[in-house]
Amino acid sequence: MSWASNTVTLDEVSRTRSGGQAVGPMDAVRLMNQGALLVDVRSREEFEGGHVLDARHLPQEEVAGAAESLKKYRDKPVIVCCESGMRSGAAARVLKAQGFAKVVNLRGGLAAWRTENLPLVKGK
């Protein structure tokens, strides 16, 4: 087995663990400008401490029961985010299993968002 084929395998494992497809902050902005919903799965305290404008707060523990409240987005792009991309990866997998066709994870989470100097708002 060559090194290149090992890399592909590692990429596939990484993609599976992160909830499938992931987009960086700038691609997330483009998707949001085209009508994508951004779902922030962090805790209430984390969300109120700084979140993306127009993000919908949905704590990770509530994602499994949220299919009905998110149903109008079932066929639209949904971006899931957390602080680092780990919790949102799990949430993205849950949404995909519930039939949401265009779910992506924010690669690197809000840490990557801040690195790109993109704005956050505080409070509810």
Q: How confident is the model at residue 123 (pLDDT cuts 50, 70, 90)?
A: confident
The catalytic residues are 82
Is the confidence at residue 107, as pLDDT, over 80? yes
Distance from chain centroid for Cα 23: 8
Residues 7-12 have a mean pLDDT of 36
Instruction: Return the closest-CA partner of residue 93 out of 68, 120, 60.
Output: 60
Q: Give the pLDDT of residue 20.
A: 65
- H-state helical runs in the chain: 3-17, 25-33, 44-49, 86-97, 109-115
Is the confidence at residue 4, as pLDDT, over 80? no
Is the confidence at residue 8, as pLDDT, over 80? no
Total length of the chain: 124
Share of the chain above pLDDT 70, in %: 84
Asked if 40 and 56 count as a contact pair (C-beta separation under 8 A), the reply is: yes
Residue with tokens 């902005």: 29
Q: How confident is the model at residue 124 (pLDDT cuts 50, 70, 90)?
A: confident
Asked if 29 and 116 count as a contact pair (C-beta separation under 8 A), the reply is: no
Q: Tokens representing 18?
A: 């992160």
Higher-confidence residue of 8 and 70: namely 70
Choose the most confident range, by mean pLDDT, from 16-20, 108-112, 120-124.
108-112
DSSP state for residue 55 in the 8-state scheme: P
- When mean pLDDT is compared across 9-18, 77-86, 95-104, the lowest value belongs to 9-18
Integer Cα distance of 88 and 74 in angstroms: 17
